[in-house]
Amino acid sequence: MDKRYISIIKKHIDNLKEIDSEKCWLLLDNEDTKYCLLKEKDKFILKRNIKENDKFDSNQILKNSNLNSKIFINEKQEKLIITDSLFKSLDVIGTVTYSVTSFESYNFRKNKFYQLVINNEKKNFRLDLIFNNLISISTETNMIIYNGITYEIKDTPFNLYFVNDYFVIENLEELDFEIFEQYSRTSLSCFGILTGYVPRKEGYYFSYANNKFENTKEYAYTSDFVDTYDVSYKPINSNLLYSFIPKNITETERGELEKKLEKIYF
């Protein structure tokens, strides 16, 4: 049975969740310009004061500007890179605001093993009613049975599982982040189609040196997801299939019939 160190993940996520409209992260760019990373209507923004040497074209007014690839240092002397942002506003009191969709720690992409972690609001989700390729992923404190599945995309093995308050996808062989992100988004879509449910909205990525997923300081955040998908209709529902199995047969006969039906339909 595999184990994951969820307390480390939770610590990173909780630190980001503490940012709100009043509590911000103070960030400095390479010119020591101060920025404030905070949240506005559940979306991250970066604010700074107008500098003396700022020049704004009256026709453009920063509309096409962004902070993409810009490196910042936070109060803990950690480097962050903005990966997706856009100019938002320039107000009368002299504050420039950018919307921020994605950012990551400086060395995040140097590793080759990743986890996509999404907050999960649906408790006790049953995977065994749909999938056969079940796995068990426990935490430092709790042993959990059959809370995930394993599968492959282009010969690369993946795990997908529910643990504590999170939904997790991880690669078990080396991948570049761009490929992992593509495959994990594909996994989300397929899982939603098969089950009628998949949490989304915002995601937290973590990168690791190996597939033991034991410890990391490297993370990324994105809100570049559509909303959670949750519908009552499930295209594949094994309960419906099993309901047609006669009740007046032995357990051995029932087991053999279930295996035969699963090979045909699943």
Of 54, 87, 105, the one marking the end of a domain is 105
Q: Domain check: are 96 and 205 in the same one?
A: no
Q: Domain check: are 85 and 202 in the same one?
A: no
SS3 content of the chain, % helix, strand, coil (to 5): 20, 35, 45
Q: Domain check: are 95 and 206 in the same one?
A: no
Closest CA to 126 of 237, 266, 202, 201: 237
Average pLDDT, the chain: 86
Q: Domain check: are 73 and 190 in the same one?
A: no
- Which structural domain range is residue 213 located in? 2-8+108-237
Contact predicate 64/23, CB 8 Å: no
Q: Percent of the chain beyond pLDDT 90?
A: 59
CA distance 246 to 230: 32
pLDDT tops 80 at residue 92? no
Q: Domain check: are 244 and 230 in the same one?
A: no
Q: What digits encode the pLDDT tens for the residues 187-240?
A: 988 888 888 888 888 999 999 999 999 989 999 999 987 666 666 555 555 554
Q: Domain check: are 147 and 254 in the same one?
A: no
Mean pLDDT of 167-185: 96
Q: Domain check: are 66 and 178 in the same one?
A: no
The structural domain count of the chain equals: 3
The reply to whether 182 falls in a domain is yes
The reply to whether 13 falls in a domain is no
Mean pLDDT of 141-166: 94
Q: Domain check: are 250 and 264 in the same one?
A: yes
Mean pLDDT of 253-262: 68
Of 71, 105, 139, the one marking the end of a domain is 105
Q: Which residue has the higher pLDDT, 244 or 261?
A: 261
Q: Domain check: are 225 and 132 in the same one?
A: yes
Mean pLDDT of 121-150: 90
Question: Could you tell me the CA-to-CA distances from 167 to 123, 149, 151, 202 in Å, in that order?
Answer: 11, 12, 16, 12
Q: Could you tell me which residues are beta bridge partners of residue 169? A: 116, 160
Q: What digits encode the pLDDT tens for the residues 1-42?
A: 689 999 999 999 999 999 988 899 999 999 999 999 999 988
Q: Domain check: are 87 and 192 in the same one?
A: no
Q: Domain check: are 120 and 229 in the same one?
A: yes
The structure tokens listed for 102 are: 């994605």
Of 70, 105, 140, the one marking the end of a domain is 105
Q: Domain check: are 61 and 179 in the same one?
A: no
The reply to whether 225 falls in a domain is yes
pTM here is: 0.84
Question: Could you tell me the CA-to-CA distances from 223 to 26, 58, 124, 202, 227 in Å, in that order?
Answer: 21, 31, 25, 4, 10
